[in-house]
Amino acid sequence: MRDVFYIFRPLVMNSVGHSWLAGREKHASGFFRLADRFPSRFSFCRRLAEMEQASQQYAAKLVGPGDMLSGRVRASVAKEAYASLDDRDVWKQLKASPKDAGLLDRMLAIEHTFTGECSPTLACVVHAVLHLQLTTNPEWYNAVLERVAAELIADGEMDAKATFEDKAMCLTEIIAVAAGGAGLAAFYKALEKPLPPLPASASGSPLFKGLRDFYTGKIVVTSGYGYQLNEKEASKISEAALKKAGWTSMAEYKPNLESVNPFVKLSLTPYSSLAQQDWMEVQYIPPVDVSEFAAKPPPSRCLSRPDLEVVAAAYAGAVTCHF
């Protein structure tokens, strides 16, 4: 795992002093030779402070009330993911079957100590998202959707009359928060820093009681699994609800409905999606520049857009990302 973080480091830092790179220039196929044109240690410290501030802001959003879930549930999911980035080997014994609706039960049967912040069922969902992406499939997703919804209803987190769309919205939010907790842990580990504690859960009400508060069209699956808003029914999105979630306009949000945009899988949860994109804009590049290889990085960065893509590709290969 250490090698992965050495590859990840320039992507995370995106602006560094070069003293800590001494002796590592040949590591990871020579990517660190980019250090020859990195700026001063002052620039490094300023960039690091910028990234740490963004990470603290993102952590606060992860543990506060969200789209449809309370801060208590979101915090429990975030903390499980945050503490579990290195637990991959625990689940190596699990193998996919053609109809893998039973993956959750097989995970629950394995002896493992979770953080205790959330139920074993929810903890297993978090670990599946983090460590078993090649094992999960539509059957797993649909089974988990119903099991998690039943727990949330029993816990008073979801109305007993919740629709299938509401359940999909909640599972989308859980996945988004788990990804966020894991991302924060990866950031600090890449810097070889101890993980600072996440904030305590924040009180307050979620933004929406159900999907219809935000969108009245149909939800669809255009690739893989996991539901998304129907791009053809964009007119059924409430712009007032979008603004409540932090978006400035429908025009700003609309690219998130395109099937080629990875954030389409978070389109059911506009608040959680924006929180992740705000963090991404500081840690990596603005989302609108992802497909623009000629885009000029913000002033605090020094890696060019092509440089960033080279490092990102190396990291994706190291962690066997199949996006």
pLDDT per position as a tens digit, 140-192: 999 999 999 999 999 999 999 999 999 999 999 999 999 999 999 999 998 89
Whether the CB-CB separation of 118 and 76 falls below 8 Å is answered with yes
Domain residue limits, the chain: 44-208, 209-278
Three-state SS for 243?
helix
Q: What is the pLDDT of residue 203?
A: 92
Q: How far apart are CA 77 and CA 126, in angstroms?
A: 7
pLDDT digits (tens, 9 = 90+) for 212-244: 999 999 999 998 889 999 999 999 999 999 999
The end-to-end CA distance of the chain, in Å, is: 20
Q: How far apart are CA 77 and CA 135, in angstroms?
A: 20
| Bridge partners, residue 220, by sequence | 228
The pTM of the full predicted model, rounded to 2 decimals, is: 0.85
Task: Measure the CA angle with vertex 184, ends 123 and 92; round to 5°.
Answer: 45
Q: Which residues of 224-263 are buried (b: 16+ CB within 10 A; e: fewer)?
A: eebbbbbbeeeeebbeebbeebbbeeeeebeebbeeebeb
Q: What is the pLDDT of residue 41?
A: 62
Three-state SS for 273?
helix
Q: What is the pLDDT of residue 2?
A: 38
Positions of the chain with pLDDT under 70: 1-42, 95-100, 322-323
Q: Which residue has the tokens 């978090």?
A: 126
Task: Measure the CA angle with vertex 288, ends 232 and 168; round to 5°.
Answer: 45
Q: What is the pLDDT of residue 231?
A: 96
Q: Which residue has the tokens 């992507």?
A: 11
Contacts of 295 (CB under 8 A, 6+ apart): 285, 286, 289, 305
